[in-house]
Structure 1
Amino acid sequence: MGFVDKMLWFIESNFRKTIELEDIADACGVSRFHMCRGFVAATGYSVMDYVRGRRLTEAARLLAVGAPSILDVALEVGYGSHEAFTRAFRERFGVTPEGLRDGQYIMSSLLVEPIRMNTAAQTRVSLEPPRREKLGPLTLVGLGRVHRYDNNSGIPSQWTDFQAYEGTLGETENIWFGVCTDFNEEDSSFRYMCAVIAPDTGGLPDELDVLKLPEQTYLVFTHREHVSQIQATMKAIWSDHIPNSDVTVNGLEAVLERYDERFHPVTGRGGFDILIPIKA
């Protein structure tokens, strides 16, 4: 059983209780950072968004069949008060618990059903053996935006917007970075930065950011398929390779995509590197 399968089993057995990220990580024997990245790659959900979704879906079923007490339902699925439960329920489904019990409709697409994932039976990406590389310190200049784990479809247009600045930043030619930082498990978001190496950071447009990264050892994986298939490679990295390796991921630094002269930005082909920060 892979660690994502263990997580799903643990969550399904305990989501009605008050569980924290540390509880799930400890039960599955992985670090919190590794757990969060691997779960997103494998399922498309952040860990806590999946837990909340399972709780509220179970509550919706109880209410749809006429459960008489909203508070009892709230307590049954791990909420400590009527108010907290009602707020979370309305945010997810657009109706109140009372409204659903009284016959209002919620979209079935908002329900979160249990994920049954036998990772051994799934199609896997064949990863080339990674290499270790020491990189940095880096001064990156780029365009940063916040995305949700379950919807990062805005990243291609973000790159299109960033192209307007290329050649104006004194950047190192033919090297671009996609930088993932500020992973937030509470609101299921992360910050993505389209960036270049540009040591001179004076006089930048207000909409551009500067990110300084220290010297860091990375585990470098090569993605050779079309750029749209990056999630499959990420899933293989986090769900297959890292759990079975002896590396320790450094959760305090950024995860990088490095594009060089191999990559063709128009066709999305040619390949690029994915750099995972590790403790040397």
Structure 2
Amino acid sequence: MTPRLVDGAALHLAGIRRRHAPGKMPAESRRQWMDLVALGNLPGQVSQIAYGLHLEAPDAATVDYFTAVEVAGFDGLPDTVERMILPAQRYAMFAHDGHVNDARTLRARIAAEHGGKFGTPDFERFHESFDPISATGRIELWFPLAP
């Protein structure tokens, strides 16, 4: 499987960050996504494209996951919303059209085949056409290239 190399622009992201036990991640992340949708459009939101970032947790027994949307800036955001600036960098991007569970399987396969070649954080980019009810549609898996 060969990725497309993409120069990603810097992103201002706003959303919800939570820590999960790896075995509970699928069920808990679904609730996290529902909570993000419940926030409605955030001030300065750029589009309906959503991001799911896999962040480094302080220990190997947990996973930090950040569900977010791109915003033009952080002014006017509610205090309860997490903020992050993702710097511009080069990525290996793998496209997936289908169910989100299959994208998780693809992510695990990419990690097994390409382990150690990528930096952090990696993320999913859910296109505006993604249907959260059926959990299907266009998902891109972005992995930062290690310097």
Bigger helix fraction: 1
* 1:268 equivalenced with 2:142 (yes/no): no
Q: Which residue of 2 aligns with 1:42?
A: none
What whole-Å deviation, never above 9, does each CA across 1:91-133 have from its counterpart, x for those lacking one? xxxxxxxxxxxxxxxxxxxxxxxxxxxxxxxxxxxx4x31010
Percent identity over paired residues = 25
Q: Which residue of 2 aligns with 1:239?
A: 112
Is the 1:254–1:277 contact (alpha carbons within 8 Å) kept by the matching residues of 2?
A: yes
- Structure 2 gap ranges (5+): none
RMSD: 1.8
Highest RCO, 1 vs 2 (Cα 8 Å, sep ≥ 6): 2
**Superposition map of 1:58-77 within 5 A:** none
Q: Higher mean Cα deviation, 227-236 or 192-201?
A: 227-236
Query: 2:6, 2:76 → 1: CA distance?
Result: 32
Within 5 Å, give how 1:135-154 maps onto structure 2.
135-152=8-25, 153-154=27-28
TM, length-normalised to structure 2: 0.89
State the match for 1:3 in structure 2. Answer: none
What's the CA shift string for 1:219-247, capped at 9, x where partnerless? 0011223112232111210112x15xxx8
1:259 offset after TM fit, Å?
0.8
Give the match for residue 38 of structure 2: 164
SS of 2:102's equivalent? helix
1:243-258 map, 5 Å: 243=115, 248-250=117-119, 253-258=120-125
**1:183–1:223 Cα change, 3 Å:** farther
Counterpart secondary structure, 1:172: strand
User: Could you tell me which amino acid in structure 2 is paired with residue 157 of structure 1?
Assistant: R
Task: Give yes or no for contact 1:137–1:216 (8 Å, CA) kept in 2.
Answer: yes
| Count of aligned pairs | 146
SS of the residue corresponding to residue 151 of structure 1 reads: helix
Amino acid at match of 2:125: R
1:222 alignment counterpart: 95
Aligned residue runs from structure 1 range 1-280, under 5 A: 127=1, 129-152=2-25, 153-184=27-58, 186-240=59-113, 242-243=114-115, 248-250=117-119, 253-279=120-146
Q: Structure 1: state its 5+ residue gaps.
A: 1-126
CA distance in structure 2 between the partners assigned to 1:239 and 1:173 by the alignment: 32
- Alignment partner of 1:154: what SS? helix
Please report the TM-score for the alignment, with normalisation by the length of structure 1: 0.49
Tell me, in whole angstroms, the C-alpha distance in 1 between the residues paired with 2:143 and 2:21: 20
Instruction: Please tell me whether the aligned partners of residues 258 and 274 of structure 1 are also in contact (alpha carbons under 8 angstroms).
Output: yes
